[in-house]
Chain A
Amino acid sequence: MGKWTRRGFITAGIIAGGGLIVGVAIRPGNRATKLSKHVTGDGETLLHTWVKLDNSNVVTAIVPHSEMGQGVGTALAQMLAEELDADWSLVEFEEAPAISEFANYPMGKGMLFAGLDIPDFVVPTVDGVLIRTAQALDLQITGGSASVRATGAYGMRVAGAAVKEMLRIAAAEAWQVPVDQVIARDSQMIHEATGRSEPYSAFAAAAAEMSPPASPVLKTSDEFKIMGRDVQRHDLPPKVDGTAIFALDIRVPNMVYATVRRAPSFAGGVENIDDTVTRSMNGVVDIVKLPPADVSALLGSFSSAESVAVVAEGYWQAKQGMNALRIQWRATENDRVSSDSIFEQFDRDISAAIDFKSDASEGNVAASIADAAQVIEADYRVPYLAHTCMEPLNATAVVKEGFCEIWIGCQSPLSFRQAVADSLGFDVENVTLNNCFMGGGFGRKSRPDYAIQAAQLAAKIGRPVQLIWSREEDVRQDFYRPAVQSRFRAAIDQEGNLTAWENTYAGKMEPAAAPLVPYTVAAKKIGHVPSPTHVPLGAWRSVDHSQHGFFTESFIDEVATAAGQDPYEYRAARLKHLPRQLAVLKKAATEAQWGVPLAPGRGRGIALQECFGSIVAEVVEVTVNEGDLSVDRVVAVIDAGYAVSPDGMRAQIESGIIYGLSAALYGEITIEDGAVAQSNFHDYPSVRMSKAPAIETYIINSGEAMGGAGEPGTPPIAPALANAVFNATGQRIRELPLQNSALNV
Chain B
Amino acid sequence: MTVVTVNGIEQKIQVDPTTPLLWVLREQLQLTGTKFGCGIAQCGACTVQVNGVAMRSCVTPVSAVAGQNVTTIEGLAPGPDELHPLQQSWIDEQVPQCGYCQSGQLMSAAALLAQNSSPSDDDIDGAMSGNICRCGMYSRIRKAIKSAAGVQQFEPSAVDFLEGETNG
Contacts and interface: CB of A to CB of B under 8 A. Distances in A.
A599 B31 CA distance: 52
Contacts of B128: 688-690
16 contacts: A67-B98, A232-B91, A236-B90, A242-B33, A242-B72, A246-B100, A251-B32, A316-B20, A316-B23, A389-B134, A442-B134, A471-B40, A680-B40, A686-B134, A688-B138, A689-B129
Interface of A: 67-71, 88, 229-233, 235-246, 248-249, 251, 257, 282, 314-317, 319, 388-392, 437-442, 468, 470-471, 647-648, 650-651, 654-659, 661-662, 680-682, 686-690, 692, 694-695
Contacts of A88: 164
Contacts of A237: 91
Interface of A is mostly: loop
Contacts of A439: 35, 98-101
A239 B136 contact: no
A67 B32 CA distance: 19
A647 B168 contact: yes
Interface in B1-57: 15-16, 19-20, 23, 26-27, 30-40, 42-43, 45
B120 interface: no
Nearest to A88: B164
Contacts of B139: 654, 692, 694-695
Contacts of A662: 134, 136
B136 A657 contact: yes
A422 B148 CA distance: 51
B97 A655 contact: yes
B165 interface: yes
Contacts of B166: 230, 232, 647
A388 B97 contact: no
Contact of B164 (A231, A316, A438, A690): A231
B45 A390 contact: yes
B99 A316 contact: no
B97 A69 contact: yes
A442 B36 CA distance: 18
A364 B98 CA distance: 49
B60 to A, nearest CB: 12
Contacts of B42: 680-682
Interface residues of B, number: 65
B19 to A, nearest CB: 5
Contacts of B43: 390, 471, 681
A237 B32 CA distance: 16
Closest 8 A/B residue pairs (Cβ): A242-B33, A658-B136, A439-B100, A69-B98, A239-B99, A69-B97, A242-B73, A692-B138
Contacts of B45: 390
Contacts of B163: 232
A315 B27 contact: yes
Contact of A390 (B91, B100, B138, B165): B100
A659 B140 CA distance: 15
B63 interface: no
Contacts of B138: 658, 687-689, 692
Interface in B88-133: 90-91, 94-103, 106, 124-126, 128-133
B19 A316 contact: yes
Contact of A244 (B34, B40, B99, B136): B99
Contacts of A656: 136
A471 B46 CA distance: 13
Contacts of A468: 36
Contacts of B96: 69, 235-236, 239-240
Given A237-B91, A240-B91, A655-B97, A232 B36 contact: no
Nearest to B139: A695
Contacts of A235: 96, 99
Given A316-B23, A651-B94, A681-B42, A689 B32 contact: no
Given A240-B106, A682-B42, A687-B138, A314 B98 contact: no
A239 B102 CA distance: 7
A349 to B, nearest CB: 33
Contacts of B73: 241-242
Given A232-B164, A314-B19, A655 B125 contact: no
Contacts of B32: 242, 245, 248-249, 251
A319 B40 CA distance: 13
Contacts of B30: 251
Contact of A240 (B72, B87, B100, B140): B87
Given A680-B38, A690-B129, A655 B99 contact: no
Given A241-B83, A251-B30, A647-B168, 15 more contacts: A240-B106, A242-B74, A242-B103, A257-B27, A316-B20, A390-B37, A392-B36, A437-B99, A440-B135, A471-B43, A658-B138, A659-B134, A659-B135, A681-B43, A682-B42
Contact of B87 (A68, A241, A694): A241
A470 B141 CA distance: 27
A520 to B, nearest CB: 34
A232 B163 CA distance: 8
A442 B166 CA distance: 27
B89 to A, nearest CB: 9
B94 A236 contact: yes
B153 interface: no
B77 interface: yes
A662 B136 CA distance: 9
Tell me which of A232, A468, A689 has the highest count of chain B C-beta atoms within 10 A of its own C-beta: A689
A104 B103 CA distance: 39
A68 B135 CA distance: 10
A337 B121 CA distance: 45
Nearest to B43: A681
Nearest to B75: A242
Nearest to B22: A316
B135 A69 contact: yes
Tell me which of B36, B72, B77, B131 has the highest count of chain A C-beta atoms within 10 A of its own C-beta: B36
A319 B23 CA distance: 11
A440 B36 contact: no
Tell me which of B124, B136, B142 has the highest count of chain A C-beta atoms within 10 A of its own C-beta: B136
